[in-house]
């Protein structure tokens, strides 16, 4: 699936049109998926324009794979994502997650090395989730961003 899609460029934000091209999905489908998958929450700025971050682009590719390639329904894909998220958290707790991420995403890590520690810590403060129940996800997100900043130095 991912081999047919273009590489994700090393930039901070992507418009809905760019994400559509990177993921092989039309913008109206992306807007619908935002309603169905709570993990997709692009930043909205002037004129209510959506700006997706790299982790959201990767999540959209994952969703696309579940729906289009593996034949899941929306609810089935939602459940599968929850399962995957839980198993990734367990791996993270065991310490194996970082090693696995480095092996699986070494090309993407090298492409994003130009981020400075200030870039990453700015994101930490400005994109705190506002939905209840996501504080634990937020702390994990914060830790991963700090690790990413340390690796890029």
Half-sphere exposure at residue 89, Cβ-oriented, CA atoms within 13 angstroms? 12
Rounded-to-integer distance, Cα 150 and Cα 153, Å: 6
Q: How far apart are CA 13 and CA 2, in angstroms?
A: 20
**What is the Cα–Cα distance from 53 to 3, expressed in whole angstroms?**
20
Between residues 15 and 150, the one the model is more confident about:
15
Element (H, E) at 137: helix 135-151
Domains within the chain, CATH numbers bracketed: 2-90 (1.10.1660.10)
Helices 74-94 and 96-104 cross at an angle (nearest 10°) of 120
pTM (2 decimals)?
0.59
How many Å apart are CA 8 and CA 147, to the nearest integer?
20
pLDDT in tens, 31-90: 999 999 998 999 999 888 999 999 999 999 999 999 999 999 999 999 999 898 888 888
Are 40 and 33 contacting, i.e. CB atoms less than 8 angstroms apart? yes
Percent of the chain with pLDDT over 70: 69
pLDDT of residue 124: 47
Cα–Cα distance, 134 to 119 (Å, whole number): 23
Tell me how far apart the alpha carbons of residues 20 and 31 are, in angstroms, rounded to a whole number. 11
CB 77 within 8 A of CB 38: no
Q: What is the DSSP letter of 127?
A: -
């Amino acid at each position: 699936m991912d081999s047919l899609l273009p590489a994700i460029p090393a930039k901070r934000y992507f418009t809905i049109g760019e994400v559509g091209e990177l993921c092989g999905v039309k913008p109206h489908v992306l807007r619908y998926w935002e309603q169905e998958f709570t993990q997709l929450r692009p930043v909205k700025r002037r004129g209510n324009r959506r700006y997706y971050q790299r982790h959201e682009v990767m999540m959209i590719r994952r969703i696309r794979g579940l729906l289009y390639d593996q034949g899941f329904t929306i609810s089935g894909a939602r459940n599968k994502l929850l399962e995957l998220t839980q198993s990734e958290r367990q791996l993270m707790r065991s310490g194996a997650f970082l090693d696995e991420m480095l092996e699986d995403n070494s090309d993407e890590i090298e492409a994003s090395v130009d981020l400075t520690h200030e870039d990453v810590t700015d994101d930490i403060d400005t994109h705190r989730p506002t939905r209840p129940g996501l504080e634990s996800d937020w702390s994990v997100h914060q830790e991963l961003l700090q690790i990413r900043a340390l690796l890029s130095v």
